[in-house]
Amino acid sequence: MNSPFLKHLHSPDRPVIVFDGAMGTNIQSQNLTAADFGGPEYEGCNEYLVHTLPEAIAKVHRDFLAAGADVIETDTFGNTSIVLAEYDLADKAYYLNKTAAQLAKKVTAEFSTPEKPRFVAGSMGPGTKLPTLGHIDFDTLRTAYVEQAEGLYDGGADLLIIETCQDVLQIKAALNAVSEVFEKKGSRLPLMVSVTIENFGTMLVGSEIEAALTILQPYPIDIMGLNCATGPDLMADHIKYLCEHSPFVVSCIPNAGLPENIGGHAHYKLTPMELRMALHKFVEDWGVQVIGGCCGTRPDHIQQLAEIAATLKPKARHPQFEPAAASIYSTQAYDQDNSFLIVGERLNASGSKKCRNMLNAEDWDGLVSLAKSQVKEGAHVLDVNVDYVGRDGERDMHELAGRLVTNVTLPLMLDSTEWEKMEEGLKVAGGKCILNSTNYEDGEPRFFKVLELAKKYGAGVVVGTIDEDGMARTAEKKFAIAQRAYNQALEYGIPAHEIFFDTLALPVSTGIEEDRENGKATIEAIRRIREELPGCQILLGVSNVSFGLNPAARIVLNSMFLHEAMAAGLDGAIVSANKILPLAKIEPEHQEVCRKLIYDRRTFDGDICTYDPLAELTTMFAGKTAKRDRSVDENLPVEERLKQHIIDGERIGLEEQLAKALEKHPPWILSTSSCWTG
Ligand code: THG
């Protein structure tokens, strides 16, 4: 990308870049009439002014450029066809975006000099409909953003800013749209993503800043930061977090304080000097490099920022980024100190009868409940598999993942043999998911198809050691497939830390001769991958190893197998979290017989087997049963039970408790603010 803006941003003296202030505030101060907007039916549609009264917008741009802004944002915040439809202007989306960008470019040309170049950022706002909450579907939103991005691109924008983001899934739709346009045009523009953290500390859909960063980290973004909702004070913690962890340049574009409602209008009271002092600190102490103003900020605010930018140098940053998955709410590091990444296996229609029955009955609440019970058991990630012959798997994935995403705080591992089902999940699950899985069974195109999804939706990916000849059985073959996939995935642009190799645990429990070495081969392959393929993750579906044994024996064998695999370098496992025992809880003789089974240490006298650990284990556990789970305390007062429901996020039975609580307590209501008028 040959971008003058990026050259400026990354020039050796690391200049502080100043964005402009509020569009809305500075349109309002011109006291425009309905006629200025093109008639009463368009009043309030600021984006239409580039057509009806371009001079009003040019004035806002000029005032900010004269105050010293390096970058002005186009008057296109609400310019997708979806928002414009509210004014019956949907068909003008492309035209209005292009016109707004051309106008901004024309005005910057009046001010731009070689010493102080000025740039135009094409503004793409969040729209009025949040995909995570089901207000709009992913593809419709992406298509609308394509049109907007193309207009901005064709109008000559120097960079694009996806801003005031309230929903992580909305950001992914916009990023996909933008990359579609770049592909079509054959070149890219610099990209900035600016999220909005509300005064309650998360994005509107509940995402913490850590989650937002994890979700965005895989994308080719240049600048990431915060804008809108609050003044700089309430942004401080989040900005500091980004400065310490984000690989992207950090931006901070606050409101002029929290809005105060005076006579039905929002008033912003932070003075230019107060804004200057706050942002001075963020730049000097933490390394923020891009600053500006959102709702309520005027040219005199921007003038103060331009003054500090002229002399300040952002503190050098050394961000520490940790590979992780995320739900829409929070992040989950892949690496678990002294433990393993626990992927809950029970939400699996092909692996669990209980799950299959609920899916067949379309008992979505029951399935969400099954997901939540795994959270309680200590799972870090939830495997979700709806593969079930005779049902519409894409629809099932859409329905189930769409409910899990808001109801469960864990990241999802989308498990299917069909990529179409994975993609259906990705279109509703705005967190950072893991795709389970890809392999070479159906050749390279299918292998790459899943990698393409991983790139597009910013996901990790499981690679099973299966190739055109089928499932690898020996350690050598498992390793060879992993190595092939490692090289191809890295070349394709998937970083090593996003690849989870699964060396496939096959049963050691059948007694069939050719299965005897399954455990050894799987563990040996893990050891080689750990030694020879740097940076990748290694994962196993552990329960396969014990298929057919008595449940009590399975728990012990699975746990021992997991323990051995971890000693060889395993990072994560798909398990039933409440059925894994720590080594200290397994009797030494059980440990011994399991090890002998895993590594096939039978003894022979000639052809006659004199000791078979499989027979030994079966005998040891004959007649033994696995322990049952405990459940909730029904004797607590209603307040306590309600509290428990909230802590557990358990919906089943909640309404009943709520109704009881409402007999004793009044309800209260949460409200929030946004950038539409600022
Ligand atoms: N690797 C990867 N993904 C996988 C697997 C793997 N996904 C599916 C599977 N293997 C892991 N998931 C399960 C889910 C359930 C069980 C085992 C593995 C299981 N089910 C009980 C049984 O079969 O006895 C039935 C429980 C019930 O019916 O309720 O054990 O290897 N990448």
Is the domain of 303 the same as that of 361?
A: no
Centre of ligand 1 from the C-alpha of residue 442, in Å: 22
DSSP-derived secondary structure for 558-587: HHHHHHHHHHHT--EEEE-GGG---GGGS-
Q: Whose CA is nearest to atom 9 of ligand 1?
A: 541
Is the domain of 178 the same as that of 303?
A: yes
Q: Parallel, antiparallel, or unpaired: how do β-strands 331-333 and 324-326 relate? A: antiparallel
Residue 594 lies in a domain: no
Rounded to whole angstroms, the Cα distance separating 321 from 329 reads: 18
Is the domain of 247 the same as that of 145?
A: yes
Q: Does residue 435's CB lie within 6 angstroms of at least one atom of ligand 1?
A: no
Residue 492 lies in a domain: yes
The per-residue pLDDT of the chain, averaged, comes to 95
Is the domain of 421 the same as that of 541?
A: yes
Radius of gyration of the chain (CA): 28
Centre of ligand 1 from the C-alpha of residue 506, in Å: 11
Centre of ligand 1 from the C-alpha of residue 207, in Å: 31
- Burial of residue 635 (number of CB atoms within 10 Å: 0-12, 13-18, 19+): exposed
Range of the domain at 360: 338-582
Q: Does residue 546's CB lie within 6 angstroms of at least one atom of ligand 1?
A: no
Is the domain of 413 the same as that of 508?
A: yes
49 pLDDT above the threshold of 90: yes
Rounded to whole angstroms, the Cα distance separating 613 from 617 reads: 6
Is the domain of 231 the same as that of 366?
A: no
3-state DSSP percent of the chain in helix, strand and coil, to 5: 45, 15, 40
Report residue 22's pLDDT band, with 50, 70 and 90 as the boundaries.
Answer: very high
Q: Whose CA is nearest to atom 30 of ligand 1?
A: 543
- Peptide bond preceding 576 in cis form (omega within 30 of 0): no
Is the domain of 206 the same as that of 135?
A: yes
- Structurally, the chain folds into a number of domains equal to 3
Q: Which of 574, 628, 629 to mutate to test the pocket of ligand 1 (most atoms within 8 A of CB)?
A: 574
Is the domain of 55 the same as that of 179?
A: yes
Among 309, 327, 361, identify where a domain stops.
309
Give me the mean pLDDT over the 646-673 stretch.
Answer: 73
Residue 39 lies in a domain: yes
What atom in ligand 1 is closest to the CA of residue 504?
31
Q: Does residue 518's CB lie within 6 angstroms of at least one atom of ligand 1?
A: no
CATH code at 532?
3.20.20.20
Q: Does residue 351's CB lie within 6 angstroms of at least one atom of ligand 1?
A: yes
Show the tokens assigned to 573.
Answer: 């496992």
**pLDDT score recorded for residue 644:** 79
Centre of ligand 1 from the C-alpha of residue 659, in Å: 39
Is the domain of 570 the same as that of 660?
A: no
Report residue 668's pLDDT band, with 50, 70 and 90 as the boundaries.
Answer: low
Residue 322 lies in a domain: no
**pLDDT score recorded for residue 236:** 98
Q: Whose CA is nearest to atom 5 of ligand 1?
A: 541
Report residue 650's pLDDT band, with 50, 70 and 90 as the boundaries.
Answer: low
**pLDDT score recorded for residue 653:** 77
SS3 label, residue 635 = coil
Comparing C-alpha atoms, which of 429, 434, 440 is closest to residue 482? 440
**pLDDT score recorded for residue 678:** 65
Reported as a single tens digit per residue, the pLDDT across 94-141 is 999 999 999 999 999 999 999 999 999 999 999 999 999 999 999 999
Percent of the chain exceeding pLDDT 90 equals 89
Q: How many helices (H) and strands (E) does the chain have?
A: 24, 24
Residue 625 lies in a domain: no
Centre of ligand 1 from the C-alpha of residue 348, in Å: 7
What's the whole-model pTM score?
0.93
Q: Which of 341, 342, 345, 356 to mutate to test the pocket of ligand 1 (most atoms within 8 A of CB)?
A: 345
Q: Whose CA is nearest to atom 10 of ligand 1?
A: 541
Is the domain of 228 the same as that of 370?
A: no
Report residue 648's pLDDT band, with 50, 70 and 90 as the boundaries.
Answer: low
**pLDDT score recorded for residue 674:** 52
**pLDDT score recorded for residue 673:** 47
Centre of ligand 1 from the C-alpha of residue 351, in Å: 4
Residue 493 lies in a domain: yes
What atom in ligand 1 is closest to the CA of residue 348?
14
Residue 417 lies in a domain: yes
Mutual orientation of helices 419-426 and 393-407 as an angle, nearest 10°? 30
What atom in ligand 1 is closest to the CA of residue 436?
32
Q: Whose CA is nearest to atom 19 of ligand 1?
A: 351
Rounded to whole angstroms, the Cα distance separating 349 from 364 reads: 13
Is the domain of 59 the same as that of 109?
A: yes
Among 560, 582, 604, identify where a domain stops.
582
Q: Does residue 415's CB lie within 6 angstroms of at least one atom of ligand 1?
A: yes
CATH code at 107?
3.20.20.330
Report residue 643's pLDDT band, with 50, 70 and 90 as the boundaries.
Answer: confident
Give me the mean pLDDT over the 363-391 stretch.
Answer: 96
Give me the mean pLDDT over the 311-335 stretch.
Answer: 97
Q: Does residue 325's CB lie within 6 angstroms of at least one atom of ligand 1?
A: no
Q: Does residue 374's CB lie within 6 angstroms of at least one atom of ligand 1?
A: no
Among 582, 599, 629, identify where a domain stops.
582
19 near 290, Cβ under 8 Å?
yes
Rounded to whole angstroms, the Cα distance separating 27 from 44 reads: 10
Residue 275 lies in a domain: yes
Centre of ligand 1 from the C-alpha of residue 502, in Å: 14
Q: Within 13 A of 38's CA, how many CA atoms are on the CB side? A: 16
Is the domain of 51 the same as that of 162?
A: yes
Centre of ligand 1 from the C-alpha of residue 543, in Å: 6
504 near 465, Cβ under 8 Å?
yes
Report residue 636's pLDDT band, with 50, 70 and 90 as the boundaries.
Answer: confident
Centre of ligand 1 from the C-alpha of residue 419, in Å: 19
